[in-house]
């Protein structure tokens, strides 16, 4: 046995000896299941059907969830109104105040006979595992983990070693986000489940977008969910030893969740949320829908296998072709924006042929991913030189997207992933404009043909890029083309200020960012 084989064997031996690392057993009992037929005899189903009957059969209806509290209450409302099924697919489902509130309402739904299927990516699961094991013991709840680690509760060293051994697999994650109720109505977009996605965190909160959808596109979302649920990469939580028959734990979880829900209902956040929504959540409110033809764009779950990228990469080619067809204006929002050289050339070509190209991403002060910002930074000048407009969100508290801020956090960060083409076509979903989303993670979203929805998303964008809420990047005029300095323009108390370094950051942050530029980590971003 050579030196490399001995080294590999020692790593495997090390993993096998690590405490708390019971290996996944096999073969795994994983019966296939599919979405139930759409509900027809519930009050919500009858209302939705009455709305759908006013339009052609290939038209879907949408509402935009731009207010974080509304996004939370809409999910709660949908769970409370569910009669047959709830299917959830998320990259992150936190065990915090809002995560446990959603979990409690899922449990209540299951208690009244609703079938709940919960599919989560395994990367970020830690303190959630005991709750998930307990939920899986409920006769009406099944929990599966997507692309999991080989051990049930891997420590940080164990995760590192497993990634070393299986980098090509474990570096690929399920980033999809959907919440489907009764196969009749769905929430699809950029938000995970957790305090910072619903304006309830005391630290940084994310600004994001979701769509509530009804109509034929919901059936497409259910088919996509089924593809992931039944894929080779999805494993029941019961695949690990020690996670069977947690009925006693379920009793404890039931009591704990009810206690937490009562505490949450008495919080300042809950009071502020209900004051903002006197007529109920968007998912429950009778009112205007945006109607139009729509497509669900979703990568195939086989994308994580990395063997057939052309067949599994569904989303990127669709969106690229739509962006290429832009005629007058293009709005792009992405918290993580790392264009390739060809992407830069493409956007520059659009700008030069008269398309107004506007991009919103996070500033260095607002981003939660320093390495991503470092890899985005070199592309700013070429884009600006081509006439592309770039805006970076400011991190200041209450920076206006929306103005309300029940969580009273210390800052905000962009998390919305959306674009608007020619004031007509809108994409809202989970895909960032970076290599990871394009090539490694699985993603999904909705493309809708409706001018009213496009206008609503543009209003979100326009609010975000106001001088009080963002920095606009400019090139200095005191040098020859190609030699200009980057400038950040912002307004404080009505007075424009120009800065030649990333605003609201320290010298240490800027140094780290510049060092990050030199690291060969592009394949991980």
CB 433 within 8 A of CB 339: yes
Going from the C-alpha of 149 to that of each of 146, 235, 461, the distances in angstroms are 9, 10, 38
Active-site choice (87, 96, 136, 182): 182
Instruction: Give whole-number Cα distances, 303 to 22, 315, 447, in Å.
Output: 27, 11, 21
Q: Give the CA-trace dihedral at 415, 418, 419, 423, to 10 degrees.
A: -110
Task: Summarize the chain as % helix, strand, coil (round to 5).
Answer: 40, 20, 40
Determine which one of 84, 415, 434, 438 is catalytic.
415
Query: Hey, what's the torsion of the CAs at 211, 212, 215, 217, to 10 degrees?
Result: 40
Which residue out of 210, 417, 434, 438 is catalytically annotated? Answer: 417
Cβ-count burial of 181 within 10 angstroms (0-12 exposed, 13-18 middle, 19+ buried)? buried
Residue whose token pair is 């709830």: 86
DSSP 8-state assignment for residue 331: E
Distance, in Å, from the CA atom of 364 to the CA atom of 372, rounded to the nearest integer, reads: 10
177 as an active site residue: the answer is yes
Query: Which one-letter DSSP state was computed for residue 440?
Result: I
Annotation marks residue 415 as catalytic: yes
Q: 152: which DSSP letter? A: S
Q: Has 417 been annotated as catalytic?
A: yes
Number of H helices, E strands in the chain: 18, 21
Name the active-site residue from 175, 184, 246, 381.
Answer: 175
Sheet holding 444-449, edge to edge: 294-298, 444-449, 425-429, 418-421, 329-333, 356-362, 389-393, 470-475, 486-492, 495-499
Q: Which of 249, 329, 368, 422 is catalytic?
A: 422
Catalytic residues: 175, 177, 182, 415, 417, 422
């Amino acid at each position: 046995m050579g030196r490399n084989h001995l080294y590999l064997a020692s790593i495997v031996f090390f993993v096998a000896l690590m405490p708390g690392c019971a290996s996944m057993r096999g073969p795994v009992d994983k019966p296939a299941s599919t979405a139930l037929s759409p509900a027809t005899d519930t009050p919500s189903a009858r209302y939705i059907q009455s709305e759908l009957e006013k339009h052609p059969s290939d038209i879907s209806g949408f509402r935009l969830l731009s207010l974080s509290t509304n996004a939370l209450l809409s999910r709660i409302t949908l769970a409370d109104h569910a009669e047959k099924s709830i299917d959830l697919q998320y990259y992150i489902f936190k065990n915090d105040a809002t995560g446990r509130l959603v979990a409690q309402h899922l449990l209540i739904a299951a208690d009244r006979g609703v079938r709940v299927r919960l599919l989560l990516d395994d990367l970020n699961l830690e303190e959630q595992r005991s709750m998930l094991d307990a939920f899986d013991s409920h006769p009406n709840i099944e929990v599966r983990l997507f692309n999991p680690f080989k051990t049930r509760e891997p420590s940080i060293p164990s995760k590192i070693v497993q990634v070393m051994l299986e980098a090509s697999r474990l570096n690929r994650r399920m980033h999809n986000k959907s919440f489907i109720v009764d196969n009749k109505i769905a929430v699809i977009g950029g938000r995970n489940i957790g305090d910072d996605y619903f304006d309830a965190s005391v630290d940084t909160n994310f600004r994001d977008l979701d769509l509530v959808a009804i109509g034929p596109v919901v059936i497409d979302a259910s088919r996509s969910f089924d593809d992931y649920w039944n894929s080779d990469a999805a494993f029941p939580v019961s695949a690990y030893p020690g996670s069977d028959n947690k009925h006693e734990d379920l009793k404890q979880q039931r009591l704990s969740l009810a206690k937490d829900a009562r505490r949450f209902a008495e919080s300042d956040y809950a009071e502020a949320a209900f004051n903002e929504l006197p007529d109920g959540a968007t998912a429950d409110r009778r009112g205007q829908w945006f109607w139009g033809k729509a497509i669900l764009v979703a990568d195939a779950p086989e994308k994580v296998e990395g063997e057939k990228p052309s067949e599994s990469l569904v989303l990127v080619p669709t969106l690229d072709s739509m962006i290429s067809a832009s005629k007058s204006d293009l709005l792009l929002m992405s918290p993580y924006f790392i264009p390739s050289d060809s992407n830069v050339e493409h956007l520059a070509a659009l700008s030069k042929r008269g398309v107004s190209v506007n991009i919103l991403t996070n500033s260095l002060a607002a981003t939660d991913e320093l390495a991503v910002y470092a890899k985005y930074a070199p592309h700013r000048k070429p884009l600006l030189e081509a006439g592309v407009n770039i805006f970076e969100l400011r991190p200041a508290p209450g920076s206006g997207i929306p103005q309300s801020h029940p969580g009273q956090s210390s800052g905000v960060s962009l998390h919305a992933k959306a674009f608007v083409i020619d004031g007509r076509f809108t994409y809202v979903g989970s895909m960032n404009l970076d290599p990871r989303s394009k090539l490694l993670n699985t993603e999904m979203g909705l493309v809708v043909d409706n001018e009213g929805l496009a206008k609503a998303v543009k209003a979100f964008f326009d609010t975000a890029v106001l001088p009080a809420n963002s920095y606009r990047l400019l090139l200095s005029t005191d040098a020859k083309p190609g030699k200009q300095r980057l400038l950040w323009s912002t307004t404080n108390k009505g007075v424009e200020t120009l800065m030649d370094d990333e605003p609201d950051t320290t010298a240490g942050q800027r140094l780290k960012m510049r060092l990050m530029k030199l690291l060969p980590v592009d394949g991980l971003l």
